[in-house]
Structure 1
Amino acid sequence: MSPTWLPEAAPEAVRPEPSEQLIERDLVMTQADFTHICELIHRHAGIVLVANKRNMVYSRLARRLRHHGMTHFSQYLALLKQEGLTGEWGAFTNALTTNLTAFFREAHHFPLLARHVTGRSGPVRVWSAAASTGEEPYSIAMILQEALGHRANEARVVATDIDTDALAQARAGVYPLEQVQKLDEVRIKRFFMRGKGDKAGLAKVRPELAAMVEFGPLNLLSPQWPVSGPFDAIFCRNVMIYFDKATQARILSRFAPLLKPDGLLFTGHSENFSYTSQAFRLRGQTVYELASRA
């Protein structure tokens, strides 16, 4: 029997969202329901939802109500209250989490990471704190392989996210071929296998690359994080834009002791923490270093 996966290829996968314009408004959501949902997701995940996100909330949670045979959002909220932080809470959080990512997104970060780790002594460790569907941590792993050569076997990428559905997709390492083909041909051949038969049109991360990445769930608002430093770099990009300033400052203060003295924090293009935290100072375009560094 011929293999399912062949060398070469690649993809990406973002959970498809139904068009809000096409959603049939057959479910009842009151303003009180929407306000309650905003309070719950902020308290549980730090996400701040404003008034113009009401349609988004409706469309993303509608499938959960239909799954339970409900017609009113008040019924769904009662279910969440009944179950506490178990059961349906995971699906609730996953539905309201935005997963917009791509391989080598914000490309200017990766040459800097390569320079930062080249020639370092000891195993290199990088944390992708908002791993989503895996494109970011796998991009980091590719850079580590290219920069470290045979020493990449010792390197590890810790990849975490609050969205368990996204993490499951990330662990699988399977993406639409059209997404992976945006990479250069050398990386496609080195790091991916092309799907065949029922996997045609898909690409899978090669086992040696996948072995460098450790996936696990993590809520940045949790009082304890299941990760330990020190890290050579932390990537937390395009997630804290959904948090208020107080939450951002609190998370940044917790990042600082997890970095090596010369470690780097990579953030998103829309994020500026120069006046949010005294623990970090801006080093370059959306890249920070510890303020205590001599």
Structure 2
Amino acid sequence: MKAGMQGRAEGVKEFDFTARDFERVRALIHKRAGIALAESKQEMVYSRLARRLRATGIDSFTSYLDRLEQGGDADEWEAFTNALTTNLTSFFREAHHFPILAEHIKKKGREPIEIWCSAASTGEEPYSIAMTACEAYNTLTPPVRIIATDIDTNVLNTGASGIYSIDRIEKMEPERAKRFFLRGKGTREGLVRVRPELRQMITFKQVNLLADQWGVSGPFDVIFCRNVMIYFDKPTQGKILDRFAPMMKEDGLLFAGHSENFLYVSDAFKLRGKTVYELDRNRKAGGVPRRA
């Protein structure tokens, strides 16, 4: 590598990215998606959005952000939001939740069950929910319907396809993997696909939790909202939780992520167990949860 090229790679950015640019990005993504970017995320933001500048042919962050603020480019708003959304997930992540889910839905008998996975990412979480339901009922066609939503359209497309690299299931019990996945052959070798019965249980749909209308309706037996609230500030968390409450059945469960604590954010819920919440039937008058 030539010395000049090396110097650029190590120290000089392709685009100027000022503190003002970063503050504009923080304000835009907070208004759009409720994400509260920490000061420490400046390099991550530059890296991800520099790709958008290259893709659009825009030569400065100032011009790019001006374009967004002018509001006329819905596709680029979607790409901007997708770029700044973190999607870390795996099958049966935070595994202690799934036996609790199985016990809860088995109590329903053959009653139809509605579950909302509100931060579905690339689909591993809703498919884990579906597999749990199949195991609980010992059938590939349990009376369970799952709505899987996310703000990021790219990851939703991955989830809807149900196709993953085989290493995504390498830690899964062999019996479970064999029952719920089909191995690719030929040009598809190294890939697995979720069985069609599971895919038929799930509807993938874009939802922005900050939007005035979510386009999903309860009442839900279960809501999974795991590892997404950590990106929101406390007032935003409280608003979302207060909107969840009337969409849940009286005995519904809300599953949170391992680092999320809702006890001091909303009075709509009380802690039932490790990061599992239920409606607080004793909440103050005027705030009693109602069915959707």
TM-score (norm 1): 0.90
The equivalent of 1:290 in structure 2 is: 279
Contact 1:23 1:59 in 2 (8 A): no
Which whole-Å deviations, capped at 9, do the CAs of 1:218-255 have from their partners, x for residues lacking one? 00000111111111110000000010000000000011
- Give per-residue Cα distances to partners, 1:123-173, cap 9 Å, x unaligned: 011110000000000000000111123484431111000000010111111
CA distance in 2, matches of 1:136, 1:22: 38
Check if 1:49 corresponds to 2:37.
yes
Tell me the amino acid that sits aligned with residue 128 of structure 1: C
Aligned match of 2:70: 82
In structure 1, C-alpha distance between the alignment counterparts of 2:95 and 2:73, rounded to whole Å: 37
SS in 1 for 2:138: helix
Q: 2:263 is matched with which residue?
A: 274
2:183·2:191 contact (CA, 8 Å) conserved in 1? yes
CA–CA distance in structure 1, aligned partners of residues 165 and 11 of structure 2: 26
- AA in 2 matched with 1:41: I
SS at match of 1:283: strand
SS of 1:238 mapped into structure 2 = coil
Structure 2 SS opposite 1:264: strand
Rg larger in structure: 2
Match of 1:252 among 238, 241, 244: 241
Shift of 1:195: 1.1
**2:160 maps to amino acid:** R
Give the number of the structure with larger relative contact order, counting CA–CA contacts within 8 Å between residues 6 or more apart: 1
Q: Structure 2, unaligned stretches of length 5 or more? A: 1-8, 284-292
Confirm whether residue 120 of structure 1 aligns to residue 108 of structure 2. Answer: yes
1 CA distance for matches of 2:71 and 2:251?
A: 44
Alpha-carbon separation, structure 1, partners of 2:71 and 2:201: 36
Q: For residues 51-94 of structure 1, give each alpha carbon's deviation from its aligned partner in whole angstroms, at most 9, with x where no partner exists.
A: 11000000011111001122210111122123446120000000
Residue matched to 2:18 = 30
Partner Cα separation in structure 2 for residue 204 and residue 91 of structure 1: 27
- Which one-letter code corresponds to 2:257 in the other structure? G
Q: Residue 227 of structure 1 is aligned with which of 205, 216, 220?
A: 216
**Contact preservation (8 Å) 2:92, 2:98:** yes
- Cross-structure match for 2:80: 92
Structure 1 stretches lacking a partner, 5+ long = 1-20
Give the letter for the 1:279 counterpart.
Answer: A
Preserved contact between residue 238 and residue 266 of structure 2 (Cα < 8 Å): yes
Matches for 1:1-294 after TM superposition, within 5 Å: 25-84=13-72, 86-121=74-109, 122-150=111-139, 152-292=141-281
Amino acid at match of 2:279: L
Distance in 2 separating the partners of 1:53 and 1:22: 19
CA distance in 1, matches of 2:147, 2:45: 30
Q: How far apart, in 1, do the equivalents of 2:69 and 2:39 lie? A: 23
- Using the TM superposition, name which of 39-48 and 223-232 deviates more: 223-232
Which deviates more from structure 2 when the two are superposed, residues 208-217 or residues 120-129?
A: 120-129
What is the distance in 1 between the residues matched to 2:193 and 2:98?
Answer: 21
Deviations 1:28-49 (A, max 9, x none): 1111111001000000100001
Q: TM-score, normalised by structure 2?
A: 0.90
Instruction: Check conservation: 1:128, 1:236, Cα contact below 8 A.
Output: yes
- Secondary structure of 2:47's counterpart equals helix
- Indicate conservation of the 8 Å contact 2:263/2:269, yes or no: yes
Aligned residues of 2:140 and 2:198 also touching (Cα < 8 A): no
Alignment check: 8 A CA contact 1:137 1:157 kept? yes
- Which amino acid letter does the alignment assign opposite residue 115 of structure 1? E
